[in-house]
Structures are given as structure tokens and as C-alpha cells.
Amino acid sequence: MTTWKRDSRLTGLQRLGCSGLAGAASLSLTAPLELLTVLAQVGTFHCRRGLWQAGWSLCRAEGLGALWKGNFTACLRLFPYSALQLASYRRFVMLFMDDLGHISQWRATLAGGLAGVVATVAIYPTDVVKTRLIVQNRLEPSYKGILHAFYMIYSQEGFRALYRGVSLSVLGAIPFSAGSFFVYTSLDKIWGEPSLRFTPLQNFLNGCLASGLAQTLSYPFETVKRKMQV
């Protein structure tokens, strides 16, 4: 049984800003790997000889900047996603708490999964746009930017195209968010000390563990979703 505790050291806006900036930095650093992963999932010709060869051939064909295609969109969507996820998680936790302010671990995990679903559905069109920007040829682009991509997809394919694959995204968001929140709600037991005393190294390892578990659980859904988005 867990007691809901709010960290009073930061305001809600400060927490959102910190999570958004940290997420943008990590996305920018790992953008080339994310791009190659998406290309492998949709089955483009770049990845027929492996990821490293794909990166090299992409750089030769479209330039070094091609490795960061779609990264700006990914960074922009972090802020509304984080805000919705954190706000939804808090609401679900308050809903699932008992009269004494306690919540079981499985209910906290469920709250995390539901919060992920709410945030994913709300900003899903930006994920479709990001995938289209990644797959297109940077030298001969079909879309000139984020707003142009939204307009072209809506005008040529209809509103439903912006939510193509959303059902798989929802199914994948449940194990992703649940796995992530399961790790974070178990950290006190893993390290044997309160989370407020964690060192920067412990926080780094915690993030790696949570992300690794969440990505592994949701990856099959992610692969099929990418194929539907293009």
C-alpha cells in the first residue's frame, strides 16, 4: 500500500517545464536512433542492410540533417503530452485512493496506464505528422513543415487519417505507461531508501530501467502502428 505524496519543492509549472526540457534534450540526442528505428519499422529501402548502413546511406543521400527529421515535432509534442499525462495521472490516483489517502501498487499502475492513454489519444495527430516527416525525402519533401503536413493530410486524406493506427497506439500506451509507472512506484523497494534521497546516478539508472521495460512491452504495437501511419 502506498501513500500519495506530493513533492512541494517544485510547482506544477516547474515540474512540467523540467520534464519537457529533459525530454526534449534526450529526444534530440537520440533522434538519429529513433529515425532509423521508424525507417526499419515501416520497411524503407535504407534499412535492408542494417541500421548502421542505413544511417550512412541516408546521410549520403539527404545530408547529415536527415538524421534529425521530425525531431522538432517530437520535441513540441512533449509539453502537451507531459501536461496531460501528469494531470491525468494525478486525477486517476485521487479517484483510486481510499479514505485514508492510500493507494495500492496495482491501482497506481492502472492510473499510470490510463493517464498514458488520455495523453496519447489527445495529441495523436502530431505522432502521425512526425512519422510522415521522418519517412519523406528531405531533398524532395511532400510536406514543408508541421502545419503544412497537418493541412495536406487533412485535405487529401481526411480527418480520420490523422488518427490512423490510434487503436494500436492506445493498446501500446497501456503496457508502456503501466510498465514505466510500475518501475517508478517500486523504486523505494528496489533501492531500499526513499526516492528523495536518490543520487543523480540512481535517477539515471531508474530512467533507463523504466524506459527499457516500457519500450519492450509496447514495441510490437509500435511497429504495426508505424506501418499504418505512412
Measure the CA–CA gap between 102 and 52, rounded to whole angstroms. Answer: 49
| pLDDT tens readout for residues 34-50 | 888 888 888 766 666 67
- Spell out the domain ranges in the chain: 2-28+70-229
pTM: 0.76
Unique residue bearing C-alpha cell 504495426: 224
> CA angle 17-20-6, nearest 5°?
60
| pLDDT tens readout for residues 138-165 | 888 889 889 999 999 999 999 999 999 9
CB 84 within 8 A of CB 173: no
The domain defined by 2-28+70-229 carries CATH number 1.50.40.10? yes
